[in-house]
Amino acid sequence: MKTPKHPISEKEVSHLAELARLELSGKDVTEMRLHLNKILDYFKMIDEVDTEGISPTYHVFDLVNVLRDDTPHSPESKDLLENVPKKKGRYIKAPRMI
């Protein structure tokens, strides 16, 4: 494993753990520092790939949402009140609000 040019320090790992509200022991901080630096090494490998002339991929599948037309219509008032537990005429009865 290559050593990164700017490795993450144990102080930075402790700070990140504090921000994430994690309690890490000294051994955990050291182990986490090694893992994070290894992850950054992988990112450096990805940065070395030549992507000149390659357009960005926003989604792996060329999918488009299929939605119905949104056409306005007037609902019949009897349909609206069909499932209401308490009603009076064409109005919905609700508990008194103070």
The helix (run of H) or strand (run of E) holding residue 36 is: helix 26-47
pLDDT at 4: 47
Three-state DSSP at 91 gives strand
- 2 against 89, higher pLDDT: 89
Tens of pLDDT, residue by residue over 6-59, are 689 999 999 999 999 999 999 999 999 999 999 999 988 888 889 898 888 877
3-class state of residue 98 by DSSP? coil
Res. 78: pLDDT tops 70: no
Q: Which has the higher per-residue pLDDT, 44 or 87?
A: 44
Measure the CA dihedral 91/92/95/98, to 10°: -60
Q: Is the Cβ–Cβ distance between 41 and 3 less than 8 Å?
A: no
- Statement: residue 82 has pLDDT above 80: no
Task: Identify the pLDDT of residue 93.
Answer: 86
Examine the pLDDT at 2 and tell me if it is beyond 60.
Answer: no
Topology at the third CATH level for domain 10-47 = Histone, subunit A (1.10.20)
- Point out which residues pair with 87 in neighbouring strands: 92
Distances (CA, A) of 65 to 7, 59, 72, 78: 43, 13, 20, 33
- Asked if pLDDT for residue 62 goes beyond 80, the answer is no
